[in-house]
Amino acid sequence: MNKYILTLFFVLATTVASFAQANISPAKAQTKKIVIFGATVHVGNGQVIDNGYIIFEKGKITGVGDATVVKLNMTDAEMITANGKHVYPGFISPITNLGLAEFESVKATLDFQEIGNMNPHIRSIVAYNTDSKVPPTLRSNGILMAQITPQGGTIAGSSSVVQLDAWNWEDAALKIDDAQHVNWPVTPRFRGGFGGARPGFSADALAERTQKAVSDLDEIFAQAKAYAEGEKPTTSNARLAAMENLFNGKEKLFITADSQKDIVAAVNFAKKYGITPVIVGGDEAYLIIDFLKENNISVVVKQPHALPNNVDDDVNMPYKNAAALANAGITVVVSIDGYWQQRNLPFMAGTVATWGLGKEKALQTITLNTAKVLGIDKTAGSIEIGKDATLFISAGDALDMKTNKVEQAFIQGRSINLDNLHKQLDKKFSDKYRIK
């Protein structure tokens, strides 16, 4: 019996060791001044420097400008020549369960949703797994930060913003509990006739259920506001206490809503409690641009690579939505569903660039605009003096999947390892079949 136990232990230990070999240790802190020169610098605020330089030390950017009109002191710095290449601020992935899920078919690795409908006390940051194999695949496409977001229910909980090269969630955190996330109650579409009816539910019954959900949401917000403004009770209420920062402006409110009717209802609901929300999804936001501008609403456009929701919509509307909003003066952020899929975020921005937005404005939808909406724009989102040196060098256009080739990346000045599980598998099987 002991023989079998010992054998099993050896097999498990070997498996764990081999799995761990794919782990990549976080980079060490920057110790020497670094200068990147000769590259096309995409600042992230719309500005482009054709032959630029960037200086950073101790994790902060200390110089940015035109390399042709300045003399650089190279004696005490590590020089990186990047002629013909491009430098971008680190891309930021919003609204993702990255680090909260690993294998979709293994329930034990899924930790992005809790039981219950009203969960404002749920904090995604404490469940964030820095040992996940997924973040390194994102870094290889220039995504260096993410908003880790819970899902499910009417109130899903609070998200946090992290950088994607860390030992643990404490090291990763850039902004803890940046926003509460609400899924606006939506009446399921009732389709009568052959193949479209919902057995046991009439259109009125479905509408009544939705109204009940809205009433429940209104009730918990009213209680939370009273809780925040009143004297603190002897026994605290975790759910209500978790919503306190919504009312003092320290935490934002993200509401997922797609139809114009739901967007208007969600915005008016938030205004009732003195909150300016961020709309997530916004499939029909382009139909109510004036309303959004009047209420200073930012929109996180989800999944530009998608089909329209309505059969009579322009088939290309998901591609055009971001441009329609941004060109009207609305702050727009681009996102993509899932966690493995996050590596394609730059190409979502590339798509909206093609459909009416332009490259530099499209770049802002995954850099500076995202940083502003998440409340980290003082330290991230653009290549400017005083901000974190979170940036990367690409051989080509980083918004184009054909030319995106990240050669070197830095997070807070640390030169990070760009190896990942996908690259390892590619090399393994390329070697097997001698693919060059």
CATH number for 91-186+214-378 (one of 2.40.50.100, 1.10.1380.10, 3.20.20.140, 3.40.50.300): it is: 3.20.20.140
What pTM was computed for the model? Answer: 0.89
Report whether pLDDT(168) > 60: yes
- What does the pLDDT read at residue 25? 85
Q: Which pair of structure tokens corresponds to residue 323? A: 């441009």
> How confident is the model at residue 107, as a pLDDT?
65
Given a contact cutoff of 8 angstroms between Cβ atoms, the answer to whether 281 and 312 are in contact is: no
- The dihedral sign for the CA sequence 45, 49, 50, 55: negative
Rounded Cα distance between 301 and 279, Å, is: 8
Measured distance CA(76)–CA(197) in Å, rounded: 73
Name the residue ranges covered by the structural domains of the chain. 2-24+423-432, 25-90+381-418, 91-186+214-378
Closest by CA position to 131, among listed 166, 83, 176: 166
Q: Mind spelling out the 3-state secondary structure of the chain?
A: CHHHHHHHHHHHHHHHHHHHCCCCCCCCCCCCEEEEEEEEEECCCCCEEEEEEEEEECCEEEEEEECCCCCCCCCCEEEEECCCCEEEECEEEEEECECCECCCCCHHHECCECCCCECCCCEHHHHCCCCCCCHHHHHCCCEEEEEECCECCCEEEEEEEEECCCCCHHHHEEEEEEEEEEECCCCCCCCCCCCCCCCCCCHHHHHHHHHHHHHHHHHHHHHHHHHHHCCCCCCCCHHHHCCHHHHCCCCEEEEEECCHHHHHHHHHHHHHCCCCCEEEECCCHHHHHHHHHHCCCEEEEECCCCCCCCCCCCCCHHHHHHHHHHCCCCCEEEECCCCHHHHHHHHHHHHHHHHHHCHHHHHHCCCHHHHHHHCCCCCCCCCCCCCECCEEEECCCCCCCCCCCEEEEEECCEECCCCCHHHHHHHHHHHHCCCC
Q: How confident is the model at residue 350 (pLDDT cuts 50, 70, 90)?
A: very high
| pLDDT single digits (tens) 222-270 | 999 999 988 877 788 889 999 999 999 999 999 999 999 999 999 999 9
Confidence at 426, pLDDT banded by 50, 70, 90: confident
> What pLDDT is stored for residue 10 in this prediction?
43
Do the domains 91-186+214-378 and 25-90+381-418 match in fold?
no
What is the distance between the alpha carbons of residues 179 and 208, in angstroms, rounded to a whole number? 29
Considering the chain, what percentage of its residues have pLDDT values greater than 90?
65
> Greater confidence, 208 or 59?
59
* Strand-pair category, 406-411 with 155-163: unpaired
Is the pLDDT higher at 234 or at 18?
A: 234
How does pLDDT run across 237-247, given as a tens digit for each residue? 889 999 999 99
Q: Which of 116, 82, 383 is nearest to 239 (CA)?
A: 116
For domain 25-90+381-418, say whether CATH 2.30.40.10 is its number: yes
pLDDT digits (tens, 9 = 90+) for 208-224: 888 888 999 999 999 99
Report pLDDT digits (tens) over 385-397. Answer: 999 999 999 999 9
Q: For the chain, how many residues are written?
A: 436
User: Does residue 14 surpass a pLDDT of 50?
Assistant: no
pLDDT of residue 364: 97
Question: Among 183, 190, 186, 193, which Cα is nearest to 204's?
Answer: 190
308 CA to centre of own chain: 22
Structure tokens at 336: 């993509």
Can you give the pLDDT at residue 198? 54
